[in-house]
Chains A and B, each alone.
Chain A
Amino acid sequence: MFKLTVKLIQWNLTRNRLQLLIMVLAVIGSLSSYVLLGTALNEMSEKVVDVQRSDWPFDIEIIGNIDDEEMKKIMDIQGVKYIEEVYTTEAFVYSSEMEFLLIPKEDTKILIEMEVGNVPTNVNEIAIPGQLAAAYQLNVGDRLKVLPSISIPPIEYEISGIVSSKKGVVTKLLLNEEGFLRLSSLFSKKAIQLDGKVDIGFVEDELEKVDAGYIIEKYEENYSNTKNSLGLSDTMVMSLRFLILGITATSLAVLLYIGQRSGAYQTGVLLAMGIKKPWLMLPTMIQTTITFLIGFLVTAAILPFVSISLGLVTKPLDILWTLIKDVAVYYGVGLFSTLIITMQFLGTPIPKLFKDA
């Protein structure tokens, strides 16, 4: 019977090569869309959420002496996505306490965009937020007095630029390193961005386990908004993937049914001769598996190139990993739809199979 099964598989695969090719193409197309659209949507939502995080793209800040080992432990905490070293200090401007930021050197999540002028490049320069400039009618070239504390005389800076008032752009006053040192010593904080899924309280607990002496500041309201936005995006990704799975399952089932119909008479003859239905289902299942295998391998081969040409930020290796992770679900759905359609086909009365052919 095994030999006959092998021959039936061969018959299934070779009797309509065009149909097989279309099935493989359908698998490649839908599997690629399944992975790429999901990845693209995730990237898009992350960018949107980054913008929506308000002017400060971090969810938790830690102050404390953090060595390399502790840093590694922090990075390994579930939900920690990104850590950046930041330098901030507070001082008075027009009798209001404001926050000052040392301009990050490189690779920062902080969005700095100038409306007018430039970022400070020397010890006497400062860039101020658009809101402050509007409130006090300040322009580039004006001088601004900053009072580090009551007991220290004010320090004067020249406004080199006005920061854009766009959403997401930093709203702190900006200084370069020398200018910052006039106000405060360099005392860094670790600013942490979370993945938008983990509970912020959980991360706080984990940080305390690393070192109970850390001073931890949480931006809970911002993080809650981020979580909501990412939740919506996840729902969208899920729905889209569900839709692709549905379309794939349906199209494969239809293609398979067309293929099965083309061999209806022979199937009728085999059933009439007393072959048991599972023996006829097995070749169809194997045909689907082979179709998926070819489709999967081709998709895996082309996906990195497609993702690069689409300009996705996610690394090709990560996309391949997503493909590998998701292929089981995808194959399961394909196999299930094959099973249903084959059961339905083999349940057709044999005389009807003869007539339908």
Chain B
Amino acid sequence: MDNQIVAIKGDRLRRVFHLGDQEVRALDEINIEVYQGELVMLLGPSGSGKTTLLHTLSGLDAPDRGEVFVDDVSIYKLNDNKLSHLRSRSFGFIFQSFNLLPNLTALENVQIPLRITGQPNPVERSMEMLTRVGLGDRAQHRPGQLSGGEQQRVTVARALVSKPKIVFADEPTGNLDSVTSMEIMNLLQEMVHENNSACLMVTHNAELVPLANRVLNLRDGKMVNK
């Protein structure tokens, strides 16, 4: 693992939400770097700013102040099209709700990132990835015919099929039982290391912490330790 190459960097990130008259600092001067090949877990109580940080770093929610750098490019200085392009090429996403497209088979769902970026051999590569996550024989099944654990395996395959530089995972095991959660995490860790990707994961599940290369704690929008 080469942990010296910065995959993504957040510099003095600030994000403020207004709830009526109240000002909530979801992110308060956050500095963060995630290196290639490492799995970083973001922990913290509800409302501490974990998901906001994940969204801000992944180009989904612009900060009020501060910058996010990928390959020394400040991503929020890119226009909407270029930012979409960056996300499709360099980022992979795994969410708590699996949210696969219900009318697409597992194989077709995994193909989406490859189709968006127009990469070659989407079917073969997706099939390979599904086999890799142990669902080779379920490729033609639709999400409704798969268990929760299987659906999340499909989303892992979907997130990693284009070999992204960074994988963002927002409570990927939140809807799974402990055994399945551990299976998914092992799979994710293995594949992130295999691809030499960086992975930033938000979780509440302390049992998963041993799998992380690094753990970051957030509280009231501030990093309390690294």
Contacts and interface: CB of A to CB of B under 8 A. Distances in A.
B19 to A, nearest CB: 13
B178 interface: no
Interface stretch (A6-14, A224-232, A312-320): A6-14
Given A274-B84, A274-B87, A274-B91, A349 B60 contact: yes
B179 interface: no
A1 B115 contact: yes
Interface stretch (A174-182, A191-199, A264-272): A264-272
A99 B61 CA distance: 86
A275 B118 CA distance: 11
A4 interface: yes
Interface in B19-34: none
15 contacts: A1-B115, A1-B116, A4-B116, A7-B103, A7-B104, A15-B102, A272-B58, A274-B84, A274-B87, A274-B88, A276-B81, A276-B84, A279-B116, A351-B51, A351-B55
Interface stretch (B6-14, B93-101, B184-192): B93-101
B74 interface: no
Given A273-B88, A274-B85, A276-B81, A265 B99 contact: yes
A274 B117 contact: yes
B113 interface: yes
A292 to B, nearest CB: 22
A291 B161 CA distance: 35
B160 interface: no
Interface of A is mostly: helix
A4 B84 contact: no
B73 to A, nearest CB: 15
A273 B113 contact: yes
Given A1-B116, A274-B116, A349-B61, A14 B81 contact: no
Interface in A1-50: 1, 3-4, 7-8, 10-11, 14-15
Interface in B99-130: 99, 101-104, 108, 111-113, 115-118
Contacts of A7: 101, 103-104, 108
A293 interface: no
B93 A273 contact: yes
Contacts of B101: 7-8, 11, 266
A350 interface: yes
A350 B52 CA distance: 11
Pairs of residues from A and B, 3 with the lowest C-beta to C-beta distance, nearest first = A274-B88, A274-B87, A350-B60
Contacts of A10: 103
A164 B202 CA distance: 91
A274 B87 CA distance: 5
Contact of B103 (A11, A265, A271, A277): A11
